Chain A
């Protein structure tokens, strides 16, 4: 069975400082991994995805994530936070046991950006 753990429910940073949102996963197969962002009263938007190509994945709005199989981690980073980055972030793992597609979302990390 697959699972995903977002290690922090809330992360608070100052504008212009680095962002780190942590995600650990568990999968019996070769998983695909994603980060999605959800702004208040909006649908989710894909930030980036890993699908067994390069382990360092670059996404939109300056975000990137590194797939570390030995640590079963897929942490999301950004060098410099912007006020508009304040939102809920979800780490997602999906694999396909027995031909069925099942994505699993983490519980989310709320990113708070202070001026």
Chain B
């Protein structure tokens, strides 16, 4: 079975730009969640998608948005980039949702630098 893959692995943007990060979930998984990990910090939950619908959201502004596609892959979009958005963005896939969310399988992340 294939694992979770994320693209791109690294990218550099400037303030005010927009970025799209992509995630392919592990085969058979129907749930995707996204996390922001700043340097030296633990991951912070952005949101979770279950069967193409947002199922939970952390404390992030609306300029962070997402999509889940029928094949359960996902995108994270960030508009109007700010310097503090520089971080490693992690995607995780799993089976089930909410308190029934099974083990999270993480990708290796997309490192975003905002200049």
Known contacts A43-B4, A43-B109, A95 near B99 by CB under 8 Å: yes
Question: A86 to B74, alpha carbons, bound, how many Å?
Answer: 32
Known contacts A32-B99, A49-B103, A96-B98, A44 near B90 by CB under 8 Å: yes
Question: How many interface residues does chain A have, given as a range?
Answer: 20 to 34
The interface on chain B, measured as residues whose beta carbon lies within 8 A of the other chain's beta carbons, has a size of 27
Number of A-B contacts (CB under 8 A): 59
Question: A9 to B26, alpha carbons, bound, how many Å?
Answer: 31
A105 at interface (Cβ–Cβ under 8 A)? yes
Sample of 25 A–B contacts (CB below 8 Å)? A41-B108, A43-B105, A43-B108, A44-B90, A44-B104, A44-B106, A45-B106, A94-B99, A96-B98, A99-B98, A100-B56, A101-B48, A101-B56, A101-B98, A101-B99, A101-B101, A102-B45, A102-B57, A102-B58, A104-B45, A105-B45, A106-B42, A107-B40, A107-B41, A108-B41
Task: Tell me the B residues contacting A by CB distance below 8 Å.
Answer: 4, 33, 35, 40-45, 48, 55-58, 90, 92, 97-99, 101, 103-109
Task: Tell me the A residues contacting B by CB distance below 8 Å.
Answer: 32, 36, 41-46, 49, 90, 94-96, 99-108
